[in-house]
């Protein structure tokens, strides 16, 4: 039998191997749902107890990233008696607002339409701290019956229950490098090589892939098996957040949910959720359709926090946790092949995110529970995990569920954003109210504009060139210098909440990397990097792990939080993002 890890270009080496029944790559909400459902059905009535293993890259199962508000329909179906008080940082949603944030400083890139709308709103006197609260929230966006949560804490809560059942083992700090592909079958996974030991092969009858939107196993399956006709992963976003200790005496109640658009750039969405204990999560999403070559999410997050509507609540607060991740914004359109012989895909990497409602955690959880039920059915009937059997059980459940109906409604809802923010918002409304029958079409731009062109309105090309040279000689980030020159004010660092990105890594992210592993970010062709004017991979890097250098960006794995944004932001597809170890060490995101 010829069996080798997909994409493994290193010479063949002798690897230890181990046989289990089911192996999972990645532990997040989807795998949590899968293992919760599966382990409740084990051992089987006839006493069969399959050996179930889950391997997670992060150094703890609670180091996931996502402050979340979710309707929690799937989660509540798994836990009908769920008491949010049992999960640290969880609270029922009590108040929801959608805000249109105006630009209080004049640095935002606003179209004529938006500027006109801003003038009208100001003239009408309907603003509260430079924000317009939408009088109604469309039903498809409401989360009124849901929960505000920390995914890190939720993952811990779920993981502890699974582990204490004794029916499955979840191993953190153990990155999965690749699927073991044997022709049309997946026969398990290969763990990441360490300098002291080659990565073990874990052979299994079923490989469950829940390693997220940029997970190495899922991407290698996409490369090997291709995408279904008409499906593509073309829309992405970087989500970055802070968990904040609010100042004493804050009037905000747990369960308050704010969503925003319009600032710091019209294309950037924001969120603000209040947890119990005078704590809030605040963050932004910088989408791929924001056609700026300077997508410095951290800088934008700091400007977002300083918007007058939010600043009155967070001023005097303290950064408690910080993190970032890539979101697969393609949703249903980005759904890969869900099953094959010996493998199944769940969660965000399987295209489960609803891009209309901006909901992903509950959907991911639900895909996991559906696979859990399917696997129990196959185990009871003693049927093998073939593509046909997994389609008849898992895929059938998924297609018949609310998840599928809602993801079809959402599939094209955001296409309008490729034409601009106004078209995008209208497209979402059309799709939402027509249940997906109508939408505004649009497609991603083929090439990101050059830095000189993007900033030409305010910064002459010669000045851009000067700034580039100054940044190169001083070692300071080019994107910061460009934003300064454009008119964004300097960040008034206070050492508590407004801190440098490096301080955020330490104070908030507590980022660490275990020794003994190779760099997991590489560049295919250095000449391509040398000729790249934008270096978007550097500006978008959530942890400043990539810094500009003459030949190619320099990579520091001790700062990488594995968001994977470098990969999809390189339009030349020159960034190789592989399995790696380490990352965030905060469980509060």
Partner 1 sequence: MSYHIAVCAGIVPDPLQTLEPVSGPQGPALKNEMMLPAVLDPWAAHALYEASHLAKNVPGSKVYLVSLAPKAKLQQVLMTMAQKVAFELVALDGPSSGFTESADVASALAAAIEAIPGLDRSQLLLFGGWESAARAAGTTLAMVGERLGITEQFQGVDALKVGADGSLEILERVEGGKHQVSVCAGAPAVLGWATGSLPEPPNSPQTGMQNMRTVMPALQKAKPAQVGAHAFLSVSLPKQQRTTRIVKDVPAAEVAREIAAWIRGS
List residues binding partner 1 (CB under 8 A): 16, 18, 53, 55, 59-63, 88-89, 153, 156, 159-160, 163-164, 166, 169-174, 191, 194, 196-197, 200, 202, 277, 320, 502, 506-507, 510, 512, 514-516, 556, 558, 585-588
Give the integer Cα–Cα distance in Å for 78 and 37.
8
- Token couple for 300: 């934008």
Nearest distance in Å: CB 466, partner 1? 24
Nearest distance in Å: CB 162, partner 1? 11
Give the integer Cα–Cα distance in Å for 203 and 242.
39
Q: C-alpha dihedral over 178, 179, 180, 181, to 10 degrees?
A: -120
Nearest distance in Å: CB 9, partner 1? 22
Closer CB to partner 1, residue 223 or residue 558? 558
Nearest distance in Å: CB 179, partner 1? 16
Closer CB to partner 1, residue 74 or residue 159? 159
Closer CB to partner 1, residue 171 or residue 433? 171
Closer CB to partner 1, residue 8 or residue 278? 278
- In the DSSP assignment, the letter for residue 419 is G
Closer CB to partner 1, residue 63 or residue 290? 63
Nearest distance in Å: CB 88, partner 1? 5
Closer CB to partner 1, residue 202 or residue 364? 202
Neighbouring residues of 559: CB distance < 8 A, sequence distance ≥ 6: 505, 511, 543, 544, 545
Nearest distance in Å: CB 177, partner 1? 13
According to the 3-state scheme, what is the secondary structure of 83-127?
CHHHCCCCEECCEEEEEEECCCCCCCCCCHHHHHHHHHHHHHCCC
Give the integer Cα–Cα distance in Å for 378 and 320.
45
Nearest distance in Å: CB 336, partner 1? 27
CB atoms within 10 A of CB 446: 6
- In the DSSP assignment, the letter for residue 247 is P
- Token couple for 65: 């990233």
Give the integer Cα–Cα distance in Å for 477 and 496.
22
Nearest distance in Å: CB 522, partner 1? 20
C-alpha atoms less than 13 angstroms from C-alpha of 153 in its C-beta half-sphere: 19
Closer CB to partner 1, residue 89 or residue 258? 89
Closer CB to partner 1, residue 18 or residue 82? 18
Closer CB to partner 1, residue 55 or residue 300? 55
Q: Do the bridges between strand 318-328 and strand 236-245 make them parallel or antiparallel, or are there none, so unpaired?
A: antiparallel
Say if CB 218 and CB 38 are below 8 A apart. no
Closer CB to partner 1, residue 141 or residue 587? 587
Nearest distance in Å: CB 191, partner 1? 7
Closer CB to partner 1, residue 194 or residue 463? 194
Nearest distance in Å: CB 589, partner 1? 11
Q: How far apart are the first and last CA of the chain?
A: 44
Closer CB to partner 1, residue 169 or residue 401? 169
Q: Do the bridges between strand 256-261 and strand 95-101 make them parallel or antiparallel, or are there none, so unpaired?
A: parallel
Closer CB to partner 1, residue 495 or residue 533? 495
CB atoms within 10 A of CB 160: 13
Say if CB 284 and CB 270 are below 8 A apart. yes
Element (H, E) at 180: strand 176-182
- Token couple for 341: 């012989």
Strand (E) positions, 420-555? 521-523, 546-547, 554-555
- Give exposure, 409-434, as e/b (b: 16+ Cβ within 10 Å): bbbbbbbbbbbbbbbbbebbbbbbee
Give the integer Cα–Cα distance in Å for 570 and 193.
26
Nearest distance in Å: CB 60, partner 1? 5
Nearest distance in Å: CB 330, partner 1? 32
Residue 312's nearest CA partner among 243, 266, 242, 250 is: 250
Residue 13's nearest CA partner among 199, 195, 202, 186 is: 199
Nearest distance in Å: CB 203, partner 1? 12
Give the integer Cα–Cα distance in Å for 281 and 284.
10
């Amino acid at each position: 039998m010829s069996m080798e890890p997909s994409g493994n270009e290193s010479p063949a080496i002798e690897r230890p191997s181990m046989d289990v029944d089911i192996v999972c790559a990645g532990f997040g909400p989807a795998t949590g749902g899968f293992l919760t459902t599966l382990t409740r059905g084990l051992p089987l009535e006839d006493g069969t107890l399959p050996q179930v293993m889950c391997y997670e890259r992060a150094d703890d199962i609670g180091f996931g990233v996502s402050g979340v508000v979710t309707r929690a329909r799937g989660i509540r179906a798994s836990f009908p008696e769920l008491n949010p008080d049992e999960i640290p940082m969880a609270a029922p949603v009590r108040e929801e607002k959608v805000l249109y944030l105006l630009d209080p400083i004049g640095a935002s890139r606003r179209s004529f339409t938006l500027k006109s709308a801003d003038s009208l709103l100001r003239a009408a006197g309907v603003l509260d701290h430079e924000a317009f609260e939408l009088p109604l929230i469309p039903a498809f966006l409401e989360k009124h019956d849901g929960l505000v949560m920390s995914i890190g804490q939720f993952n811990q809560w779920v993981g502890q229950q699974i582990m204490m059942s004794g029916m499955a083992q979840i191993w953190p700090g153990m990155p999965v490098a690749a699927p073991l592909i044997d022709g049309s079958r997946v026969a398990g996974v290969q763990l990441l090589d360490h300098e002291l030991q080659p990565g073990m092969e874990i052979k299994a009858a079923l490989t469950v892939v829940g390693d997220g939107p940029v997970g190495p196993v899922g991407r290698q399956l996409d490369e090997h098996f291709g995408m279904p006709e008409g499906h593509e992963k073309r829309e992405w976003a970087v989500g970055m957040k802070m968990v904040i200790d609010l100042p004493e005496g804050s009037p905000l109640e747990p369960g308050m949910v704010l969503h925003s658009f319009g600032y710091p750039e019209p294309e950037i969405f924001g969120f603000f959720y209040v947890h119990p204990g005078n704590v809030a999560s605040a963050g932004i999403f910088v989408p791929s359709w924001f056609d700026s070559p300077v997508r410095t999410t951290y800088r934008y997050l700091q400007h977002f926090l300083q918007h007058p509507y939010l600043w009155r609540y967070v001023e005097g607060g303290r950064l408690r946790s910080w993190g970032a991740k890539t979101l697969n914004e393609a949703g249903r359109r980005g759904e890969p092949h869900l099953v094959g012989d010996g493998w199944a895909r769940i969660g965000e990497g399987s295209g489960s995110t609803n891009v209309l409602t901006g909901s992903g955690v509950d959907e991911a959880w639900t895909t996991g529970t559906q696979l859990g039920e399917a696997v129990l059915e196959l185990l009871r009937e003693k049927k093998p995990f073939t593509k046909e059997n997994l389609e008849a059980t898992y895929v059938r459940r998924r297609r018949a569920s609310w998840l599928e109906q809602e993801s079809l409604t959402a599939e094209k809802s955001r296409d309008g954003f490729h034409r601009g923010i106004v078209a995008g918002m209208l497209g979402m409304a059309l799709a939402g109210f027509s249940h997906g029958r109508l939408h505004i079409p649009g497609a991603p731009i083929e090439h990101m504009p050059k830095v000189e062109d993007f900033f030409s309105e305010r910064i002459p090309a010669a000045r851009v060139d000067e700034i580039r040279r100054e940044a190169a000689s001083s070692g300071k980030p080019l994107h910061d210098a460009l934003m300064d020159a454009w008119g964004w004010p300097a960040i008034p660092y206070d050492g508590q909440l407004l801190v440098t990105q490096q301080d955020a890594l330490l104070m908030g992210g507590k980022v660490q990397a275990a020794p003994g592993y190779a760099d997991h970010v590489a560049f295919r062709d250095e000449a391509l990097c040398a000729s790249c004017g934008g270096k978007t991979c550097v500006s978008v890097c959530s942890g400043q792990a990539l810094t500009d250098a003459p030949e190619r960006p320099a990579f520091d794995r001790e700062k990488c939080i594995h968001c994977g944004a470098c990969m999809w932001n390189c339009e030349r597809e020159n960034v190789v993002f592989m399995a790696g170890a380490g990352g965030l060490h905060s469980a509060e995101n």
